[in-house]
Structure 1
Amino acid sequence: MAAITHTMIQAVCEQGKCLSLHEIDMKTAIAKVVDLTGMNPTSAANYLSSFMNMMKGIIYKRTVSYTATVFFLDNIGKDFGVGKQRDAATAVKKHIASCVTIKGCQKKIDALAQSCPAG
């Protein structure tokens, strides 16, 4: 499996913003990420879905890297404000809670979500 690069994470975040603003649909967002970065289409779809669930504050099932989680949380806060960042941190906390029993659950991601602004 190829590593997820910073360029890929950045493209997912940018297209995720467009998705959340209803400027494009998921199919178009996936295609743009793949075209811009060479990211695997399945990985692009998973990362975009996780980003969108973070924006909504709902659980996401596919794990994204710690680096991507930091980038998404930071940029959601910058672009959409602390309320949306709080929602995203809630989604991360729900994700971590669902994977606690799964070997390899990333404790660093949980600590990151806990450090985001409280509501």
Structure 2
Amino acid sequence: MKRYWLMKLKKYDKKSKLEVWKYLNTASESPHILNNFLANGFRIWDEDEHRVIKTNLDVSEWIKKNPQSERNESMAQKITNLMIHTSYEYAKKVYNCEVELGDALDKIVIASGMYRGSALAYISDFRLMLEGREYKRTMSQNATRFYLENIGNDYGIECLETAIKAVLLHINYYERVKGSKLKSLVKVIDDVKELFNLN
């Protein structure tokens, strides 16, 4: 695998200044070769050191040419399985002090396209699950199921029971604030309990 890769800006949120970049099929062993491709909205990424080498970005000009991207970025994002799996893996690494939070967020965004704010919320929810504490940012039904099942597999039954407690606290919080119950998450808890033979 070559070391230096060309990346293109795909989405930009003007309010939060969130950038979502995508790998292109252009790579080289020398970053200087990629300089010829550095039009506005492109950057060179060092795959070995996981850092940006050079960026060419005039945000105002880029938005003028890509107005649809800015509008889409402010809308709610559909959370995909790739986002769920990637955020879980990096949430573990952050919790286990294997990677810094900022680096984890960068890698989740690059690998899956997940919004940085959503990635931060999922990492925070993971930590609160393991601590059995109430979290306020809603996690999708599929993500909650994946997180609970993998917490059970990775950390054991005791931690799974603690995580279930956190989800129940979140359900109660949501009911207090929104006035409705998250029945889908109640079912997720029931399914996970059955899967792990919990009472």
CA contact (8 A) 1:59 1:92 kept: yes
CA contact (8 A) 1:93 1:114 kept: no
Structure 1 residues 104, 42: closer, same or farther in 2, change over 3 A? farther
Deviation of 1:114 (Å): 4.7
CA contact (8 A) 1:90 1:113 kept: no
Deviation of 1:112 (Å): 2.5
Deviation of 1:30 (Å): 1.2
Alignment match of 2:155 (pick from 80, 92, 108):
80
Bigger CA radius of gyration: 2
The residue aligned with 1:110 is: 186
Deviation of 1:55 (Å): 1.4
The residue aligned with 1:65 is: 140
Q: Determine which structure has the larger strand proportion and give its number.
A: 2
Which of structures 1 and 2 has the larger relative contact order (alpha carbons within 8 angstroms, sep 6+)?
1
The worse-fitting range, judged by mean Cα deviation, of 108-117 and 3-12 is 108-117
Deviation of 1:52 (Å): 1.3
Identify unmatched segments of 5+ residues in structure 2. Answer: 1-75
The worse-fitting range, judged by mean Cα deviation, of 74-83 and 46-55 is 46-55
Aligned pairs, number: 118
User: C-alpha distance in 2, partners of 1:63/1:104?
Assistant: 13
3-state SS of 1:24 partner: coil
User: C-alpha distance in 1, partners of 2:189/2:172?
Assistant: 11
Identify unmatched segments of 5+ residues in structure 1. Answer: none
Runs of 4+ in 1 over 3 A off after TM superposition: none
> Partner amino acid for 2:187?
A
Deviation of 1:22 (Å): 1.2
TM-score of the pair, normalised by structure 2: 0.56
3-state SS of 1:4 partner: coil
The residue aligned with 1:4 is: 79
CA contact (8 A) 2:172 2:181 kept: no
